Amino acid sequence: MKVLVLTKNEHISTLFTDFPTITSREEALMAFVGRHWDVVIAGMEMVWIVEELKKKGRVFWTIFIAYSCTAPFYKRALEVGDFCYLISTPQLVRIRLEWLRQQIFKRQGELYPYQGVVYNFKLGKLYSPNGEEIGLTRGEKDVLEVLIKNRERFVSNREILENSDISSEESIKVLVSRLRKKGFKIINRSRIGYRLIEPDERETGIKKRGKGNRTAEKGKGIQKGIQKGREKGKSEGGNKRERERERERDSPPFYSQSPSNPSVQNLNIFSERDNFSD
């Protein structure tokens, strides 16, 4: 089940940090481009945006959150959405989400299509595009079902173990690797868990940089700083020499001895580029 939070209220967003949050009309319109959301949790200040999305033909369940559900607020929430809860009762929203999850899977007929293949929850079997069964072990089936049911977020190893007959975290790694070979795009984050990527979803900002990459980047940064320092030094040195040349051109002729004494040889020292002719 894919859930989106639509609100400018930080209090509401902090109650549902496990779901993506958007705060404006523009972000809401973009969030629905090429994607489907099963449920939208929205603050009452966003009721007009939800109404606009539904007028554009978007279909989703809507749960409104408000500080007070007075009769006018409640009536407006049910005109546009489906449910309205007080901000002080987030546990009731969680119960409603679980109920919606069950309803959505019933609507889908217990089938989950994924890039041509289809998983049948009722039979616990995976089918190819031409209807042939793709073999799954008991462990692969358990991991796949947990990831499908929670595909909007990362699932920890502990949660997978609690909802399956798998015995160890090492077994989970092996089973995930097998599912990847069957075409399922599963990403993982160290110490967080695994997540099944939807076919229409792009993987962004997930790749983890290793220690070697960080060291290489640090070395590149040092080299870049050294090169920048050299270029700055060359630039300052060049400017200094240019200022000295300008002073030489602008200054009067230099006499090593006073020119008022005719007995003394006049030792005018000129630069080659100086020109004193009229």
* Beta-sheet strand order (sheet of 61-66): 21-22, 3-6, 39-43, 61-66, 83-86
For residue range 73-132, what is the model confidence (pLDDT) as tens digits?
A: 888 888 999 999 999 999 999 999 988 887 776 665 577 888 878 888 878 888 887 678
Contacts of 234 (CB under 8 A, 6+ apart): none
- Who wins on pLDDT, 136 or 207? 136
Range 205-209 average pLDDT: 40
Look at 133-142, 160-169, 262-271 and tell me which has the smallest mean pLDDT: 262-271
Q: Which domains does the chain have, with CATH numbers?
A: 3-107 (3.40.50.2300), 111-196 (1.10.10.10)
Range 206-230 average pLDDT: 51
How much of the chain, in percent, has pLDDT values that exceed 90?
41
Q: What is the DSSP string of the chain?
A: --EEEE-S-HHHHHHTTTS-EE-SHHHHHHHTTT---SEEEEEGGGHHHHHHHHHTT---EEEEEES---HHHHHHHHHHSSEEEETT-HHHHHHHHHHHHHHHHHHTTTEEEETTEEEETTTTEEE-TTSPEEP--HHHHHHHHHHHHTTTS-B-HHHHHHTSS---HHHHHHHHHHHHHTT--EEEETTTEEEEPPTT----S-PPPPHHHHHHHHHHHHHHHHHHHHHHHHHHHHHHHHHHHHHHHHSPPEESS-TT-TTSPP-EE--TT-----
Range 206-210 average pLDDT: 41
* Amino acid 92: pLDDT: 94
* Amino acid 211: pLDDT: 45
**CB distance 80 to 40 below 8 Å:** no
For residue range 239-259, what is the model confidence (pLDDT) as tens digits?
A: 666 666 666 555 554 444 444
Dihedral over Cα of 93, 99, 100, 102: its sign: positive
pTM of the entire predicted model: 0.44
d(CA 49, CA 188): 34
**CB distance 53 to 188 below 8 Å:** no
42 pLDDT band (50/70/90 cuts)?
Answer: very high
d(CA 230, CA 236): 10
- Give the residue from 8, 3, 53 showing the smallest Cα distance to 28: 53
* Amino acid 180: pLDDT: 93
Residue with the two structure tokens 């220690």: 211
